[in-house]
Structure 1
Amino acid sequence: MELNEVMRTTFSARAFTGEPLPDETLYRILDNARFACSGANLQGWRVIVVREQEIRRQIASICADTFRYYRAQEIAGEVPFNPITPTEVDPSEAARTDLRYPMLGHFDDVKKVPVVLVITLDLRVVTAFDLNQARIGVISGASIYPFAWNILLGARNEGFGGVLTTFLANGEKEAQSILGLPDHYAIAAMLPLGRPVKQLTKLKRRPVESFTTINRFDGAPFKP
């Protein structure tokens, strides 16, 4: 496929056909994804291919608890887990919220979710230039998310798809124990992969002029 087409048609696929994703194809996807950039080219990623049903059930349970809180905040009109605006949602209210995320109910079924990848990052090799800022850090993500996105681009190029989820990170301590993950490894994402039930080709995104300005944040919109 042409690069532009891959970039413009890689979407968040959450429903898959029963077709398996062969190991040879998954290896090829990861083999291409590894050429992503990372700080000082230290390539601190570690990928866990989760196949055991019980492990899948356990991580799905962790994600479900987080997603209920996420949904409760959405219903309340909040931006979920926002670092600027504290939530006013009561935990008991969140616990009663409908999950409405069918994929989590099928995590132990390889016919519904063929591949589950947990993407982790070795914090010992991360440079975080915003370490001393009085806000949540974002810089370290530059050393892992290009790799994660490359996986999704690679999957699309092979006719497959997936979705980048981060719910598991909220229960990182429990997940570390389940996955045998050392304390210095952070969970960056979980990527379910498979053949999408429907391949979307017309994605809606904001135009360049709406998010690009000249010289200053309040500068004139950038246009050709």
Structure 2
Amino acid sequence: MELKEALRTTGAVREFTGEPVADEVLYEILDTARFAPSGGNRQGWRAIVVRDPGLRRELRDLYLPGWYDYLAMGRAGLVPWAPLTDREAERAALAGAPAIAAAADGTGFAERLHEVPALVVVLADLRALAAVDRDHDRYTLVGGASIYPFVWSLLLAAHDAGLGGVMTTMLVQREKEVRTLLGVPDEFAVGAVVALGHPVRRPTRLRRSEVAEFATVDRFDGPAVAP
């Protein structure tokens, strides 16, 4: 696949056919993704391919409460867990999560997480991240720059192999339980879970902001970058 096409067409896929992902295909995807950039080329990622049905169900069970909280905050017009937000409104919104959980019909991506053809937990070695904003008095962000390019490369490589997928960070909220469940050492953080498979349908018209809406010249309030 031509690179520009891949960058413009790799949308999130959450519905998969029942066709399994062959071991050799998953290996090739990981083998390609390992060339992702990272700070100092330290490659501080680890990947756990979760195959055991029992472990998959336990991951799903850990995933679901956060998912219903996410839906509750979204329905209240909030960006879930935004670093800058109205915490009082957030607390009020979360009171609606049990009702959302009770109404779930069990057919959504979250409820069927254990059934996705390939499930990869991506970890970050906290000893290998040059998090230059570590000591700021705000939410830290930079360490992910050495991990998430690997995740994006997984998704691009999967797309090139005819698969689809999505990255989710919901299980980071239950990191302690995930680490215990999968035997992860203390120096590793849960960075993401990547679900992969043969897509039921592939998004063809991705919606994104135009360049002029997010890129300016010289200052935040400078003129928009134009063609």
TM surpasses 0.5? yes
What are the residue-to-residue correspondences of 1:115-154 with 2, within 5 Å?
115-154=118-157
Q: 1:72 is aligned with what amino acid?
A: A
Q: 1:169, 1:189 within 8 Å by CA — same for their partners in 2?
A: yes
Q: Does 1:97 align with 2:103?
A: no
Match for residue 57 of structure 1?
A: 57
Of 110, 113, 124, 1:107 maps to 113
Q: 1:72, 1:89 within 8 Å by CA — same for their partners in 2?
A: no
Q: 1:43, 1:143 within 8 Å by CA — same for their partners in 2?
A: yes
Q: Does 1:158 align with 2:164?
A: no
Match for residue 18 of structure 2?
A: 18
Q: Which whole-Å CA distance do the structure 2 matches of 1:89 and 1:128 have between them?
A: 34
Unaligned residue ranges in structure 1 (runs of 5+): none
Match for residue 214 of structure 2?
A: 211
Secondary structure, counterpart of 1:105 in structure 2: coil
Structure 1 residue 132 displacement after superposition: 1.5
Moved more, 36-45 or 100-109: 100-109
TM-score (norm 1): 0.95
Query: Aligned pairs, how many?
Result: 221
Q: Which whole-Å CA distance do the structure 2 matches of 1:131 and 1:193 have between them?
A: 32
Structure 1 residue 103 displacement after superposition: 1.9
Structure 1 residue 88 displacement after superposition: 2.8
Q: 1:15, 1:197 within 8 Å by CA — same for their partners in 2?
A: yes
Q: 1:93 is aligned with what amino acid?
A: G
Match for residue 67 of structure 1?
A: 67
Q: 1:220 is aligned with what amino acid?
A: P
Q: 1:84 is aligned with what amino acid?
A: L
Q: 1:115 is aligned with what amino acid?
A: A
Q: 1:119, 1:187 within 8 Å by CA — same for their partners in 2?
A: yes
Unaligned residue ranges in structure 2 (runs of 5+): none
Secondary structure, counterpart of 1:73 in structure 2: helix
Q: 1:47, 1:120 within 8 Å by CA — same for their partners in 2?
A: yes
Structure 1 residue 92 displacement after superposition: 4.4
Structure 1 residue 107 displacement after superposition: 3.0
